[in-house]
Chain A
Amino acid sequence: QVTLKESGPGILQPSQTLSLTCTFSGFSLSTYGMGVGWIRQPSGKGLEWLANIWWDDDKYYNPSLKNRLTISKDTSNNQAFLKITNVDTADTATYYCARIGGGIPTNFDYWGQGVMVTVSS
């Protein structure tokens, strides 16, 4: 059974660094072709892809967030992480992680419940 769960600070102030954790089970990031992606959604708006990390530590980022994103993983503990530096009110959103890869039938097949993050002074 595949599950993912996001965790984060809930609220933080502008200019701080947002640190998010995705804790998953039912698959491994050491498995060939497997990965985890991060996606966010401001309240009432659409989905925005942020970053992917793959089993071989290959990483891809959304250039619209310039150099503010860092994705990483801890394979032993089945976790993936996302950091966003210098946050602004525009980063207020629900953040999701999802399983990606593993072949076409499993790409983006499981998502976490999401974690709401508010940036406010």
Chain B
Amino acid sequence: DIQMTQSPSSMSASLGDRVTITCQASQDIGNNLIWFQQKPGKSPRRMIYYATNLANGVPSRFSGSRSGSDYSLTIISLESEDMADYHCLQYKQYPLTFGSGTKLEIK
């Protein structure tokens, strides 16, 4: 199985900060990675698909990037509505696997 090591597990940042969350894949997944945002009591919302593509309706302060086996979600200027859990998902190979999640809090 492909392991997705997500970091950090939690973080606290101030409004306007640049925030980066990373998932490291244990095997090559190409760009077959999705980032989700999940707010309390809500379903996951797809933010980034195919590693670097912004999903419809997602603010442009969000971006996805890849460096080797490391995949990152970056928020360039944190807003209060960005407080949420973030999850990565690889779909290169079955079984599909999620990262363990990052809880993003606002200071």
Contact = CB atoms under 8 A, between A and B. Distances in A.
Interface in B24-65: 34, 36, 43-46, 49-50, 53, 55-56
B54 to A, nearest CB: 11
B44 A96 contact: yes
Interface of B: 34, 36, 43-46, 49-50, 53, 55-56, 87, 89, 91, 94-101
5 contacts: A37-B96, A46-B100, A46-B101, A47-B36, A109-B46
A108 B98 contact: no
B50 A104 contact: yes
Interface residues of A, number: 22
Given A46-B101, A47-B101, A109 B55 contact: yes
A60 B100 CA distance: 22
B46 A49 contact: no
A64 interface: yes
Nearest to A110: B46
